[in-house]
Structure 1
Amino acid sequence: MARTTYQELLDAGVHFGHLTRKWDPKMAKYIFMERNGIHIIDLNKTLIKLEEAASAIKQVVKSGRKVLFVATKKQAKDIVAAQAKTVNMPFVTERWLGGMLTNFATVRKSIKKMANIDKMTKDGTYSVLSKKEKLMIQRERIKLENLLGGIADLNRLPAALFIIDVKKEHIAVSEALKLNIPTFAMVDTNSDPTNIDFPIPSNDDATKSISLITEIIGKAIQEGLEERKRDKEEEAEREAAAAKARIDSGEEPEATAEETKTDTDASGKRPRKKAEAEIATEADNTPDGE
């Protein structure tokens, strides 16, 4: 089933591009026509590219990895933050800090600092500070929350980026390119789609357009999460059924990894059967007459 229809894209204004004088020639293949000095995006191609992006991002999430949502423009930040929270994915909606990906270790230190401030408020350390120190810490905490709150739970580099307006977020695109991180993005007629792995030709300025595309990507991510959960449950059921079948047939259960790590039993001695096997091997290898 299609994730959206031509009519839904039309109603959301996804087809409206920028003024013809502001266009990027590399977007020519996604442009349908010009009307009143504005480029019109070919929605048939948008449908194809949107389906490709949604299917690919679903597989990324199904593998158990994270997708980082990036949108710092005013009309997109609230929409993107809400959708990212819905599917429990990290997001950046205030300002992209240079080196957020390429210098991720330093960014993690700042996130840890934010966690330490929270710890101070819980263990009572914060209460013994002076009024001035408290005020300084509060201001720093608010600043860190605004910049890094959306990626506080991101312990390693994301597996992919979903970006609104690649022209504005060119630093994020550049860092992802350096680290070979796949990018999914809404690309308008004034942007270069060649550096994006999964470009979605669409209007990245209108709230309705951003909301529709982001929602479709969010649903694809949700599908990936649900399929991953279902696969894990089915795998657990298969393992339980196999174990039950072995028990019913009278077979000894297979040794666990923990049991095979050591050759000694609980008393610190080698298991009887293993010791006997080793003695028998030594006897076979002993030359005659010894």
Structure 2
Amino acid sequence: MASACTQGLDTGFVALGYAKVAVLGVVQGLTELLPISSTAHMRIVPALLGWQDPGSAFSAAMQLAALVAVITYFWSDVRGLVFGSLGAVARRDFRDWNFRFAVWIILATVPIVIAGVVFSSVLNSCGSPLRTLNVIGVSCLVMGALLAVAEYYARHKRTLDQVTLKDTMIVGLAQCGALIPGVSRSGSTLTAALFLDMQREEAARFSFLLGLPAIAAAGFKELWELHKAHLDAQGWSVLAVGLAVASVSAFVAIWSLLHILERYSAWPFVIYRFLLGLFLLIAVAIGLLPN
């Protein structure tokens, strides 16, 4: 079903109501932080259930659920970066690791901010051509192939305290790929970190910490856009339910990702992405799902 628009914003989630948005909140939370594309699943699940597309505004706002989950799960790292950096500034010790890494993360966020502004007119607009299932399916296959190459060739030796400014900028540039539906922010940054020979769990940790500013910016920007579009009280309450549920499921997603990477490898996600991409392309071709 087609989504709804509020002053140009895709706000189909409002018509879905609390129960359906809660279900989609679970899906969004689980897939947002796993390298399997939340956008793909947010298109597939409603389509298969015969529900209205919740819209790109819902997915963007759900970034705040991911933000809460990442900060909660990696609180010791986040606390160290924040208070360590403040302490370094107070001491004027600008060679402190926490201060340098925090600055690098900010610098690495600049590319996706610029790209997001440049392409804002098509990213979250109603009927965006980037949200077609064919685009998402191809993106899933391409990122699956890149993740497979990274997993195969990576030496898995480096840890987070060994990364450099160059490494951080490379992962930051890779993060721009997340603007293309189907690529996945987690998938693009995790893949880039693996190409840098990082240990799997450390690559995931690096990916999450580096993504904090971008996740926060995307989520709060979308809330502001919804505010400017005069989303009504019911719309805000429906969104709040989705955010609450997605925060819990996103926390579970982080635990699951680290557990799988520690005990196995990235191959389960490679296989899943290939199967998902093929399913989407075939489903559109035979008319099972609308493009």
TM-score range, shorter chain: under 0.3
TM value normalised by structure 1:
0.26
Q: Hey, which of these two has a bigger chunk of helix by percent?
A: 2
Q: Hey, which of these two has a bigger chunk of strand by percent?
A: 1
TM value normalised by structure 2:
0.26
Q: Return the index of the structure with the highest Cα Rg.
A: 1
